[in-house]
Amino acid sequence: MWKSLSALSIPQAALSELQADYLRDATLLWNSVLGPAAGESGAPLPPVKDRRFSAADWQAQPSTDYVARMYLLNARTLMQMAEAVQADEKTKARVRFAVQQWVDAASPANYLAFNPEAQRKALETGGQSIVQGMQLLWNDLRQGHVSQTDTTQFEVGRNVATTEGAVVFEDELFQLIEYKPLTAKVAERPLLMVPPCINKYYIMDLQPANSLVRYAVAQGNRVFMLSWRNPDEGLANRSWDDYVEQAVIRAIHTVQALSGAKQINTLGFCVGGTLLATALAVLAARGEHPAASMTLLTALLDFSDTGMLDVFIDEAAVQLREVTIGDKAPGGPKLLKGQELATAFNFLRPNDLVWNYVVGNYLKGEMPPAFDLLYWNGDSTNLPGPMYCWYLRNTYLENRLREPGALTVCGERLDLGLLKLPIYLYASREDHIVPWQSAYASTRLFQGPRRFVLGASGHIAGVINPPEARKRSHWTNDSLPDQPDAWLAGAQEHAGSWWTDWSAWLAPHSGRQLTAPKTYGGRGYEAIEPAPGRYVKASA
């Protein structure tokens, strides 16, 4: 629970030091920026590095330069005060988060009356930039969220999610897509990809140049994708068990039956990785071991440290969800609307994903540029209330997934330690959703061969990093010490994408080479419709 503000305090010594520092810096700022106009002598200040105030318009006049610098001083001081609050770590994190949200929203760049760049554009365009901004604002009000990209430039199946394939199975929860081989020979063991159910699968198949799906197919894999249905009210009562048994496990068995392979390779991304590991542990408890390998991309299994998302989770918050959209909800379970999740994730990085577009769209009247990743980011999905509530309570709140026998899923006592298969664990170094140290903690949950690889950048950009782009880097270390910092200290940095490392790791687990199939499906399964299928096109 949020503690009463009156119960929070800052030590007097720390507060006095902050006050003294603030008065000193405010005086220096006044004398340096506005002092010469009043006959004072002021030393020049270094340029403002914050990109919100990087335009020359902010430095053109002493008054606007002063406004920007004073805001930054106030913002810094407020954050220092939040850091100095005496409280437990979770309360301090929530105070920091709340103060940061207020500080970012209060930026003078966000308001036409204080933004000289937007004012100049309004004068140059004869007010047309304001008219266009109001039109964009009205469009965003109607659609219910701030536009981050020009959505008219993209269409699922036309220029995103374009890797050729066909839907070969479907039920109420998912469609199974098989992709057309790009090589004469394919690996004996197919690769099944399980994307996050809180997003559309095509984050792994944006466009040909940055498609992990196409890359995997081009490497000679027979690739299948689980495409989640965007739930409507008819699926509002579905549970975590349903998603495991009737989706992931069913997809695994279908790929086995369709291909004739006794074992397959598997990959799970984010929550898809949590679902995949859970499904394989359920099958292991039943004496089944259908996977020759498992790849987990930015996935949490040990929820000891959930990064910025922890500020949203406590007993009261979970109970509120349970009685509003879960099994305890009056009138029955309800959906967690996709836009609510999307908004929460955007406000984890408000300057980049919210206020940047408020300024550009509404104050300057500029349609944001076309960007496939941000188009995907705005294509939100719903979740069934009971499934979401189970996930919140048993992972984020109580962290029971990592404890052998602590959970019963699909009628089986869950023990991730039963998974002895080779595992490839990938994390992103700047990930604010799945801290890389938390992803590393998964190495301690398994007994079989494990490889941990760390990539640069964040939760999505770190994963979607094709080799041809020659961007970023990744770190490898064959040893797995207990502590993640020790792993990093002994790691070697490599230029470029981690995809090539993963492909080289996967090859020995893929079996012999077979002639690529000429048609989709097989053994009683046939093409239902071309990829990407109907489910991924459904809007929340």
Q: Which two tokens stand for residue 46?
A: 């270094």
The whole-angstrom separation of Cα 125 and Cα 137 is 18
Token pair recorded at residue 62: 């002493």
Catalytic residue among 197, 270, 389, 410: 270
Closest CA to 422 of 532, 233, 271, 266: 266
Q: How far apart are CA 266 and CA 279, in angstroms?
A: 11
CA distance to 190, 193, 263, per residue, from 205 (Å)? 18, 11, 24
d(CA 244, CA 228): 12
Q: What is the DSSP string of 69-97?
A: HHHHHHHHHHHHHHHH-BS-HHHHHHHHH
Sheet holding 492-495, edge to edge: 492-495, 473-476, 450-455, 423-428, 291-297, 264-269, 191-194, 223-228, 174-179, 165-170, 529-530
289 closest CA partner among 267, 264, 312, 271: 264
| β-strands 264-269, 291-297 pairing | parallel
Tell me whether strands 335-336 and 383-384 are parallel, antiparallel or unpaired.
Answer: antiparallel
Kindly report the number of other CB atoms within 10 A of residue 73's CB atom: 16
- Cα separation, 290 vs 252, whole angstroms: 8
CB 425 within 8 A of CB 442: yes
How far is 349 from 97, CA to CA, in rounded Å? 11
Please name the residue ranges forming H helices in 354-415. Answer: 356-357, 372-377, 385-391
For the four alpha carbons of 199, 205, 209 and 214, in that order, the dihedral sign comes to positive
Which helix (H) or strand (E) segment holds residue 487: the answer is helix 484-489
197 is catalytic: no
User: Which uninterrupted H or E stretch holds 408?
Assistant: strand 408-409
Q: How far apart are CA 176 and CA 534, in angstroms?
A: 11
Distance in Å from the first CA to the final CA of the chain: 31
Nearest C-alpha neighbor of 131 from the set 355, 364, 357, 354: 364
Strands (E), 264-357: 264-269, 291-297, 335-336
Provide Rg for the chain, Cα atoms.
26
Mind telling me the catalytic residues? 270
